[in-house]
Structure 1
Amino acid sequence: MNNRILWPLLAVLPIVAAVPGCGRTTPPPVSRPDSGHPERGAELIARYGCGSCHTIPGIDGADGLVGPPLTRFGARSYIAGELPNSAENLKRWITDPQSVEPGTAMPNLGVDPIDAEDIAAYLHTLD
């Protein structure tokens, strides 16, 4: 190989090797909820209007494009890119998203802890 071609490649290689990627760390395991009622959670998702911002499988009219789609939520490692995906963390996110990520577009909808538990139970069925 020509040295004029090889030299720039060798100069860039350490930079490329130093850039972290999604596949370089082991994501935390998803913690499944051991309480909550998924069927009620589906009803609450519709009642609180979550589908006006999110696409959510199994919820009629939940085809919003403002927030991320919640497809396969139960298989995800993180909530909002901030918290390991567990039932407790999801309840925290649902009841007070600003405490997790100040300035997030996710509004505080006044979801009480019992409702959040059921919504979390439903979302964790989506895998």
Structure 2
Amino acid sequence: MRQIPVALLLLVALAACTGKPPSSDTITGGNPQHGLDAIRRYGCGACHRIDGVPGAFGKVGPTLQNIGERAYVAGKLPNTPENLQTWIRFPQRVVPGSAMPDLGVSELDARDIAAYLYHQ
């Protein structure tokens, strides 16, 4: 079996690395700007602090700052784009009795909101 020189492997690894995480729209399939609009429309800032959203200084729910760095969504779901979108759309199914109400968030709006939150 032929061995590949370590330097070659290192070169390939460096060429593949961009130094940037994937963009939020790539991760979620959503649009961060539309997400900002949806966050305002659904009134998320009444309960949550959300950076970049005027008037979003709520203290009922947790701050949504750096949500992409958290291990879990809703304290129970692994933090993936799909799970965040499920939580945004159906919080009462995920955690019955949660203070977060079902707001009738559409699938598209959930993708856009997740894109905005991961984009912060």
TM-score range, shorter-chain basis? 0.7 to 0.9
Alpha-carbon separation, structure 2, partners of 1:42 and 1:77: 23
- The alpha carbon displacement at 1:110 in A equals 0.5
| CA offsets 1:45-85 (integer angstroms, 9 cap, x no match) | 01110000000000000000010011111111110111011
Match for residue 37 of structure 2?
Answer: 43
> Which one of the candidate residues 79, 85, 97 is aligned to 2:79?
85
Per-residue deviation, 1:34: 4.2
Count residues in correspondence: 95
* Structure 1: unaligned runs, 5 residues or longer: 1-31
1:74 paired with 2:34, answer no
User: Is it true that 1:125 corresponds to 2:113 in the alignment?
Assistant: no
Displaced runs of 4 or more, over 6 A: none
Q: Check if 1:65 corresponds to 2:45.
A: no
Map of 1:110-121 to 2, 5 A cutoff? 110-121=104-115
Give the alignment's TM-score, normalised by structure 1. 0.72
Q: Which residue of 1 is the match for residue 50 of structure 2? A: 56
Which amino acid is 2:29 matched to?
A: S
Q: RMSD across aligned C-alpha pairs, in angstroms?
A: 1.0
Q: What is the match of residue 105 of structure 1?
A: 99
CA distance in 2, matches of 1:42, 1:74: 16
Question: Do the aligned partners of residues 116 and 96 (structure 1) sit closer, same or farther apart at CA in structure 2, a change above 3 Å counting?
Answer: same
The structure with the largest alpha-carbon Rg is 1
Structure 2 residue runs of 5 or longer lacking an equivalent are: 1-23
